Amino acid sequence: MLDELRTLEERALTDLAAARDESAVEAWRVAYLGRKGRLTLILRSLGNLPAEERRQVGAAGNRLRETLEAALEEKRRALQAARLAAVAQRPLDVTLPGRPVPFGRLHPITQTLRDILGAFSAMGFEIVEGPEVETDYYNFEALRIPRDHPARDLWDTLWVDLGGDGERSILLRTHTSPDQVRIMERLQPPIRVVVPGKTYRHEATDATHEWMFHQVEGLAVDQGITLADLKGTLEEFARRLFGQERQVRLVQSYYPFVEPGVDLAVDCWICRGNPDPECRVCRGSGWLELLGAGMVHPEVLRNVRYDTERYTGFAFGMGVERIALARYGIDDIRHFYADDVRFLSQFR
């Protein structure tokens, strides 16, 4: 067995010296030192030898492995040095253009979110954030949506069972409105804040629905705030985001935590007053609904111990993906999260 090891060493070093490139060196490593290499197979057969011979052959085999590994490393260094030397001998053409450096870019949802927040920051709103894992109280109860309220059917809630007893009290927030209450519990008016963040619903995904999406919640509370202040704020936001020539429309709607509630729509910037059934943005209606809003319900204010005879406020909430779909004329929300670089590289 010792003679076999000496023969193996001579052959291995000869084959390594004959290797001319890295692929040949790697093939040599696999042939001699790999999991099924020649030296490895010899060392695995030591158990069949007598104890005294096993010690001698084992020691010789380990020394041979160290020798071959050192020779392998030396060969790799020699090949690298030869490669660098060959490059250094080539003439350098300084007139050649430099290699293009690829630049990353912000995701279209991130771009849209930053533009939304920038519009409200310019109007004096502060940006705050809240937890994504919420309690039933903040997500529903404090917003006038008790357990038996039919409005809960509007949200396909993802509940978190912490105790294993089936008690539902912790959930992934279904909207960013819970932060209205959290902010008002901490602060006294005047308040002007916008709250961006992810929200979650147990949705069947399709062209217009995702199980995770982004929202921006807005809240303003002070003395003498009226629906006219809400309209002016949202009108300025729509024009900052979609163009100064935009017209806005408020339509009565229902939301449990505001009274009255409204939906904001802007006129289609593609149709421009002449609704087109083929329009990819408004689908022929001439208007595009952007968000829901309204005056904060007095009961919500009383829940945080605000004097409803003194303070009023407005709130609004919008889906960032919905804004991005309209802004870029995209027809499927799933494109945003498919990780298709061909799609994402269009947005700068």
Phi-psi region of 286 (alpha: psi -120 to 50; beta: other; left: phi over 0): left
The SS3 of residue 222 is: strand
Which tokens belong to 31? 């042939």
Active site residues: 155, 175, 201, 215, 258, 315
> Dihedrals φ, ψ of 47, to 5°?
-65, -15
Judge whether 298 and 332 are in contact, CB under 8 Å: no
Bridge partners (DSSP) of residue 287 are 267
Nearest to 121 by CA among 185, 263, 216: 216
Contact 278, 284 (CB under 8 A): yes
* Size of the chain in residues: 348
The residue behind tokens 């006038």 is 144
Q: Which helix (H) or strand (E) holds 248?
A: strand 248-253
- Report CA torsion sign: 20, 25, 31, 37: positive
